[in-house]
A and B are shown apart, each in its own frame.
Chain A
């Protein structure tokens, strides 16, 4: 099974930029890197996806180094509503299933 490593938790003040890094050493060559956000008692929500370098959408940016063994989700100017758990699921080689791991619990402080 593929495995990811993320910090268990992070705290940030409102208005700051938050960077959450995920290590995925054995990601398959043709797999995309995906991040999800989950609020308590809700289903995870897709945030952003990339293959290499940098991807930006209206919610976040995703930075992927050339070796693709890690990725960094960047949330600009966080607000209290960004308090959630963030996951970087990966797929095992030859597998269709995503392994989510425990995620990073981000707490935004007023």
Chain B
């Protein structure tokens, strides 16, 4: 158990819909990272927050957005969903910005039908 929690574990929704994925980092960790993993693309970095502020942006679509709240939990919002958005979405946390030892949550499996 990494100490990072993600909800929900599974999500099935239709194209065009909007969903919110939630992540609670390890106690004391200030950085939260979001990753997308699909079969053909591997593990892709989406976005990082540090203590409530956006710190780095990766291959995140404009239809996707995220935020980190004062209690340090984070949410990833996916809108206008397409079939290609079906993937595993992982959240990770670390203790300091830039540290490479990231702790990953169990992931949310999103299926868009």
Q: Report A's interface with B, CB cutoff 8 A.
A: 31-32, 34, 38, 41-46, 49, 87, 89, 91, 95-103
Contacts and interface: CB of A to CB of B under 8 A. Distances in A.
Given A49-B101, A95-B56, A97-B56, 15 more contacts: A38-B43, A43-B92, A44-B90, A45-B2, A46-B103, A49-B100, A91-B100, A96-B55, A97-B33, A97-B45, A97-B48, A98-B102, A100-B35, A100-B45, A103-B42
Dominant SS at the A interface?
loop
Interface in B60-99: 88, 90, 92, 97-98
Contacts of A44: 43, 90, 92, 102, 104
A25 B6 CA distance: 35
A49 B94 CA distance: 14
Dominant SS at the B interface?
strand
Number of chain B interface residues as a range: 20 to 34
16 contacts: A42-B106, A43-B92, A43-B106, A44-B90, A46-B102, A46-B103, A49-B100, A91-B100, A96-B55, A96-B97, A97-B45, A97-B48, A97-B56, A98-B45, A100-B43, A103-B43
B103 A97 contact: no
Interface of B: 2, 4, 33, 35, 42-45, 48, 55-56, 58, 88, 90, 92, 97-98, 100-107, 109
Given A43-B2, A43-B92, A44-B43, A97 B58 contact: yes
A72 B43 CA distance: 21
A32 B43 contact: no
B106 A89 contact: no
